[in-house]
Amino acid sequence: GRMILLTMKEEKKLTVVQKVMDGTMDIEQSSKVLGISERQMYRLMTLVREGCPSGLIHGNRGNQHACRYDADVRGKVLELVREKYQDINDTHLAEILKEKEKIEMGREGLRQLLRRSGIGPKQKRRGKVYRRRRDRKAAFGTMIQLDSSLHAWLEGRGGGCTLVGGIDDATNKVWARFEASECTWGYLRLMHDIVESNGIPLSVYTDRHTIFYSPKEPTVMEQLEGVESLTQVGRAYKELGIEMIKAYSPQAKGRIERLWGTFQDRLVVEMRLAGITTREEANTFLKGYLPRYNAQFGVSPKESKSVFRKKPVRQVLKRILCLKDTRSVKQDHTISFEGLTLQIPRSSKWMSIVKQKVEVIQIQDGSLEVRYKEQTVLSLSKDALQSLMEKFQVKKEPLKNAA
């Protein structure tokens, strides 16, 4: 008869059957080794005894696959892919072939046909990134992970809002506030809350959002002077001496990503039960909710001593956590700012500051200051600004989303 080549699996079956027939293994053991029933074991022994080891071979050996497409269809598909349908992902290609060419081929069958014929996928699968577990920081205040989460926090009961928050890496303590959107003022106000409650942290860990890092390339002059292109948030945090660390993936700042999952699950329910319908109410609710949350989910740091630094006095802090712009003073001692013309009054300190650079500061309370050499040369309250804007017909809310 014809020669039968057995696979390793089939050879194992034959060896076990022979051991049973030699009496060196019993039926119960052998059926467990092969993972078959005792009845099947007796059947195999009968086949081998009758000199028919082909019974050990699977019945489908050598048969064509039931779903195999004939050579004409395969050839037609490969011709179409090479000439007409290039650079299309497999699922989409299967849909196109069915719709435009009336060729029905499953995605997996098509994938195997293309790969065997040397036609690669449209996109290479990205290999899994090796991630190493990072231990928590040892002390409270070493690093705070910052982020924001846009979500249906009020479940349609009020307008949309974004939760801007920070979580301490060592203790899981959370600071958060609801803002209209993820904005510069949101992160300045959040840092104000953190500094007022605990002091200045050593570092913050953020994504690469343009709120934190300027996409602007520094000019040649800036490069020569060693000046960085900083955003308002970057500048304010630098003035406070806070190191900014970039996270290059959401997984890197996993602690705050998981926090959003927890809040989207729990906080939403709590606010629904409390009947919260506006952003203002939500922020008031947070003041009571966060201490309870922190008490329940906080962890003890490895080192008991906090490393938060002492907060600056209020007047200094408000002139750091603000928006700063530079303007040149014109011949008539005015500056242009956000569509307004601002007159700088005469000063007993300086005869003239024409052509000098001044700093325009927008404070969180909505007021505005113009400063020259660390001295305030013009101060406008929120109301005074508002009336100026009406006079100049500047169609804006109080400047740049101030409080």
Least confident of 1-15, 99-113, 237-251: 1-15
pLDDT at 403: 47
Instruction: Indicate the pLDDT class of residue 390, thresholds 50, 70 and 90.
Output: confident
Per-residue pLDDT reduced to its tens digit, 263-300 = 998 899 889 989 999 999 999 999 999 999 999 999 99
For the cut 90, the answer to whether the pLDDT of residue 217 exceeds it is no
Query: Is the pTM of the predicted complex or chain greater than 0.75?
Result: no
Q: Which of 215, 168, 206, 159 is nearest to 187 (CA)?
A: 206
Give the residue-averaged pLDDT of 144-158: 93
Neighbours of 230 (CB within 10 A): 18
* Out of 53-57, 173-177, 203-207, 369-373, least confident range: 53-57
Span of 93-97, 224-228, 318-322 with lowest mean pLDDT = 224-228
Does residue 1 surpass a pLDDT of 60? no
The predicted structure's pLDDT at residue 2: 54
List, for residues 168-185, the tens digit of each pLDDT value. 999 999 999 999 999 999
Summarised one tens digit per residue, pLDDT across range 341-352 is 999 999 888 889
Written as one letter, the residue type at 257 is: E
Residue 305 pLDDT > 70: yes
Instruction: Provide the b/e sequence for 116-125 (b: ≥16 CB within 10 Å).
Output: eeeeeeeeee
Average pLDDT, the chain: 88
